[in-house]
A = this chain, B = another copy of it.
Amino acid sequence: MTASKTLLSPTTLYQHGTLALLVPGLLAGTITMGELLKHGDTGIGTGEGLDGELIILDGVPYQVTSDGKVTVVDDDFTMPFVTVHQAAFKKLVNVSDTNQFMLEQQVLQEAAAQNTFFSIEVTGTFTHVKTRAVEKSVEPYHTLAQTARNQGLFEKDDVRGTLVSYYSPEIFDGAAVGGFHHHFISDDHDFGGHVLSFHVDQATVGLQVFDTLEQHLPTKNKPYMDHDFSDDQITETIRAAEK
């Protein structure tokens, strides 16, 4: 055993916050990036106030802001909602000339894991990627519906990069978005975000299946703990904003 050996389980997905808190705009940053990275080296999320789209690759946390800029954030950057795991992808399949829908169907078929949480990493060349990045709001924070109206949209052709994606089973809809959720970053780190659509030229798909969701909630955050979610129409609002 070496000093650098990780104790993180490759079958555990760690989630801080829950999708529901985005709906009424409970957007205080309640975990730091430094703390988060103890739970994994790969992931996706957003910053305090929905400050852009995060993608964490090989332990490096990239932020795509609503102006399209990509930067690396510091350990004291805080987040209301983020998902991370320790990468141990196994190659599932090579794909070429395929779009988002076809890729998702192929992964569901080959992974046979639709009733648990899993991650895919898609690395290669893309003929087209369309992303969005949400715009940070300050207190009083925007609701998810307001945020969805304030976002930058970006498109790029012939780009080399990586998709980090999580799949959540429909039976856990509410804790996370049921189905796939993809974030992208280009190899040259100047393009990325929450993925709206893509077309693969040539790519390798890696799969990592989890048997455990470690769901951490911001119990020290009084606005979250005191909120009455009963009138927020959580599921309907999330479906409208994420699709």
Name A's B-contacting residues (CB within 8 A).
18, 20, 112-117, 169-175, 209-220, 224-227, 229-230, 234
Contact = CB atoms under 8 A, between A and B. Distances in A.
A219 B213 contact: no
Given A212-B214, A214-B214, 9 more contacts: A113-B219, A113-B225, A115-B224, A116-B225, A170-B229, A173-B174, A175-B175, A211-B220, A213-B213
B211 A212 contact: no
Q: State the copy count for this chain.
A: 2
Contact of A215 (B215, B217, B224, B226): B215
Contacts of A216: 211-212
B227 A115 contact: yes
Contacts of A219: 113, 116, 209-211
A114 B229 CA distance: 10
Contacts of A171: 18, 20, 174-175, 229, 234
Nearest 4 A/B pairs, CB to CB = A20-B171, A213-B215, A211-B219, A116-B217
B217 A115 contact: yes
Contacts of A169: 229
14 contacts: A112-B226, A113-B225, A115-B225, A116-B217, A116-B225, A171-B229, A171-B234, A174-B175, A209-B219, A211-B216, A211-B218, A213-B213, A214-B214, A215-B215
